[in-house]
Amino acid sequence: MSKHILLTGASGLIGRHLTRLLLVQGYEVSHLSRRPGKNPRVKTFSWDIPKGEIDGACVDGVDTIIHLAGAGVADGHWTKKRKKEIIDSRTKSIRLIYDLLRKKNHRVKSVISASATGYYGDSGDALLTEDSPAGNDFLAEVCVKWEAAVEEGDELSLRIVKFRTGVVLDKKGGALPQLALPVKLAIGSPLGSGKQWVSWIHWHDVVKLYFYAVTNTKLSGTFNMVAPNPATNKQLTQAVAKQLHRPLWAPKVPKLVMELLFGEMSLAVLESTKASSQKIEDAGFKFDYPELAGALKEIYG
C-alpha cells in the first residue's frame, strides 16, 4: 500500500481536505505549488507550469501522485487567453510531471487525477455512464484534453484513475455558496429552465473517493465522481432554501439573462448533466451522503 503521496492543486478546498485526511491516516504528504507551503507537516516543492520548471526532488520516495491542479473554470470570463490557461494548467502540469518521471529513477506506481462531468456536455435527461460520448463545447474540450494528457502515463506503466467530478457541495467554496447567497437574501430562484440536471456530490465523499483510489490499488480507469441521486437545478435550489429556512418567490432567471451576464461561461450552470455513479458503486465504494437532503443537512447543520 502506498504511503507517500504527492499532491498537486493542494491549495484548493479538496486539496486541503484530502491533505488532512491523508495525514490523519498516517501518510507522508508532499505538495507541488507555486508558493511556499504553510503546513509544517507537509513538504512543498516548487514548480512553474508556464516556464516548464519543476523541482526534481518532488517525486523522491513517492508512490502515488494525485493531480488536482487546474485554473478555476468560473474564476473569470472565458476570453481566448483564459481558455488557454484553463486547459494548459491541467494538461501541461501533468506532462511536466511525466517528463520528470522519464528522466529519473522513481517508485511512482499510480496517478489519480481529477476530471469533470463537463466531459459530457449538455446532455438533457440522458443518464450518462463513463462510456457516454464527450460533448462538443468548451467544458467538454477541457476534459477531453485533460484526460488525454493524464492517459499518457500509460506509457510509463502507471496505474491511472480518472474521476469525472460533479458539482461539489461545500459551504466553504465552490458552487454552493454562490447558489446559497441569493437564497439567504430571500431572492433565490432556479437558473434557466431549472430543469437541467446537476450531478452533485458532498465534499466528504469526494475526499473519501480519492482515498479509496489510493488504498485500492486494483482500481483503475475512469469513474463518475457523483452521488447516486442527481437533482435538477430547481430541486437543488429548493433543497437549499428548505435547509436554510428561506422562501423561494423570485421568478426563474432566464437563460438569456445568464448568457448576457456571463457569456459562454453560463454553460457551467445551464448545462444538463445526469451522470451515473453505478460503476464506482459496483467497484465497492459506499457513499456516506447519497441523498441531497442528508448532504445539505450535514453541510449546514
pLDDT in tens, 96-109: 999 999 999 999 99
43 backbone dihedrals φ, ψ, rounded to 5°: -85, 130
Q: 230 φ, ψ to 5°?
A: -65, 160
- Stated as kind and residue range, the H or E segment containing 209 is helix 203-215
What residues does each domain of the chain span?
Answer: 4-300
209 pLDDT higher than 70: yes
Average predicted confidence (pLDDT) for the chain: 94
Residues 124-136 pLDDT 10s: 999 999 999 999 9
Q: What is the mean pLDDT of residues 291-301?
A: 96
Q: Residues of the chain with pLDDT > 90: what percent?
A: 80
- In this prediction, residues 2-6 reach a mean pLDDT of 89
Q: Residue 1: is its pLDDT beyond 60? A: no
- The pLDDT value recorded for residue 74 is 82
Please name the residues in contact with 221: beta carbons below 8 A apart, sequence gap of 6 or more: 130, 160, 161, 162
Homologous superfamily (CATH) of 4-300 is NAD(P)-binding Rossmann-like Domain (3.40.50.720)
Q: What span, in angstroms and rounded, lies between the C-alpha atoms of 30 and 15?
A: 11
d(CA 265, CA 258): 9
pLDDT in tens, 36-71: 888 899 999 999 999 999 999 999 999 999 999 999
Which pLDDT score, from 0 to 100, does residue 246 have? Answer: 92
147-178 pLDDT, tens digit per residue, is 999 999 999 999 999 999 999 999 998 889 88
pLDDT classification of 261: cutoffs 50, 70, 90: low
As a dihedral over the C-alpha atoms of residue 289, residue 27, residue 149, residue 68, rounded to 10 degrees, the angle is 50
Span 223-243, pLDDT tens digits = 999 999 999 999 999 999 999
Higher pLDDT residue, 215 or 192?
A: 215
pLDDT over 90 at 202, yes or no: yes
H helices, E strands: number in the chain = 10, 14
Secondary structure class of 186 (helix, strand, coil): coil
CB within 8 A of 278, min separation 6: which ones?
129
How many other C-beta atoms lie within 10 A of the C-beta of residue 168? 21
pLDDT, position 289: 98
Residue 112: name the closest of 14, 204, 191 by CA: 14
Measured between alpha carbons, how far is residue 203 from residues 61, 98, 284 in Å? 29, 28, 19
